[in-house]
């Protein structure tokens, strides 16, 4: 086995990774020169919409896919040269439920433990908090589990060999809000045990649960930092606007020359003006002039989704 660099304080190092796919007669670049580092014991999020390149990136880092160029290391091991060593030390939970549907909960877990020459009892303490929630159903076939229970079983199977780095590709997609919260609570507890965690998600609200995030769009990373630091970079005043006819309101705001961007966020539209001089009074006057009623205009602080939209607009320019 190739020796890793024990002095390396990074769990993952990615340097200028590029991945292309051939689609019919054209070529699609899924990852465009991505670089970042994840510190040991860090909970690091890759946040972006479907098609951003998150899954391709995770498959490169878990040695399931070869990049066209660039290098990546996990715990000091090269993902190409040392793939066998990496596979023994990482846990991987793909976005699509990939366990054996016809095997029971207990049989799936036992199978994955056996692959790594360990047993459920040997590493039970690591998965105890998670497994106890599904243990009453250990004889049930995996295919008959609910989305939240499948999620917990998949995480147990990814952890049963005590990995040092855990890769979770969109683990909360398709599960209910309660299960999502429970899952992130579990990740915080796993982090306290010293496991380095990389998690990808399309849900912007989950970014705040990470130590740091990389915002990803169209194969590129737009920003990497603590969620709060990314939000602090949002420099322009942001307004939440509401009225009676929301569809007409959106159309009117988007056609107003003073508006830089406008998009839906819950019951409001988030509006960024081109000029700082355009404040609540000016927005209110414009809407009243256009016959809107029951107008609400309030200044708000940017969240991670606002920051992502601003970075995406800058990137497109």
Dihedral sign (CA 160, 204, 60, 53): positive
Q: What angle do CA 77, 187, 123 make, to 5 degrees?
A: 70
Fold: same for 10-231 and 235-301 = no
Nearest Cα to 216, choosing from 90, 19, 34?
34
Tokens 């999620």, residue located: 151
The CATH class of the 10-231 domain is alpha beta
Kindly report, residue by residue over 235-262, the tens digit of the pLDDT: 888 999 999 889 999 999 999 999 999 9
Kindly report, residue by residue over 152-190, the tens digit of the pLDDT: 899 999 998 989 999 999 988 877 888 888 889 889 988
The full DSSP string for 255-282 is T-TTEEEEEEETTEEEEEESSTT--HHH
Cα 279 from Cα 260, distance rounded (Å): 13
| 8 A C-beta contact, residue 295 and residue 243 | yes
**Sequence spans of domains, the chain:** 10-231, 235-301
| 8 A C-beta contact, residue 172 and residue 203 | yes
Q: For domain 235-301, say whether CATH 3.30.70.2070 is its number.
A: yes
Structure-block tokens of residue 94? 């793909």
Confidence (pTM)? 0.88
Kindly report, residue by residue over 195-235, the tens digit of the pLDDT: 999 999 999 989 999 999 999 999 999 999 999 999 999 98
Q: How confident is the model at residue 4 (pLDDT cuts 50, 70, 90)?
A: very low
Kindly report, residue by residue over 108-149, the tens digit of the pLDDT: 999 999 988 888 888 888 888 888 888 899 899 999 988 888
- The whole-chain average pLDDT of the chain stands at 90
């Amino acid at each position: 086995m190739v020796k890793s660099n024990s002095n390396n304080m990074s769990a993952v190092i990615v340097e200028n990774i590029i991945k292309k796919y051939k689609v019919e007669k054209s070529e699609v670049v899924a990852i465009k020169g991505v670089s970042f580092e994840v510190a040991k014991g860090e909970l690091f999020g890759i946040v972006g919409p479907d098609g951003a390149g998150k899954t391709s990136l995770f498959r490169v880092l878990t040695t399931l896919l070869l990049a066209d160029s660039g290098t990546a290391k996990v715990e000091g091991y090269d993902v190409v040269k040392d793939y066998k060593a990496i596979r023994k030390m990482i846990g991987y939970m793909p976005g699509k439920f990939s366990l054996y549907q016809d095997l029971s909960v207990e049989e799936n877990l036992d199978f994955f433990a056996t692959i790594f020459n360990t047993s459920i009892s040997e590493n039970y303490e690591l998965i105890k908090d998670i497994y106890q929630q599904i243990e009453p159903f250990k004889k049930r076939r995996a295919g008959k589990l609910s989305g939240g229970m499948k999620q917990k079983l998949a995480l147990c199977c990814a952890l049963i060999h005590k990995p040092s780095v855990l890769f979770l590709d969109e683990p909360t997609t398709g599960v209910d809000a309660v299960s999502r919260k429970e899952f992130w609570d579990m990740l915080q507890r796993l982090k306290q045990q010293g496991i380095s965690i990389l998690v990808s998600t399309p849900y912007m609200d989950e970014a705040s649960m990470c130590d740091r995030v990389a915002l990803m769009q169209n194969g590129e990373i737009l920003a990497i930092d603590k969620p709060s630091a990314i939000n602090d970079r949002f420099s322009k005043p942001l307004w939440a606007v509401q009225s009676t006819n929301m569809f007409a309101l959106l159309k009117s705001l988007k056609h107003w020359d003073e508006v830089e961007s406008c998009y839906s966020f819950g019951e409001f539209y988030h509006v960024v003006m081109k000029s700082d001089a355009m404040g609540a009074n000016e927005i209110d006057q414009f809407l009243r002039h256009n016959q809107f009623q029951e107008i609400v205009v309030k200044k708000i602080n940017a969240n991670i989704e606002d920051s992502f939209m601003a970075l995406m607009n800058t990137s497109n320019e």
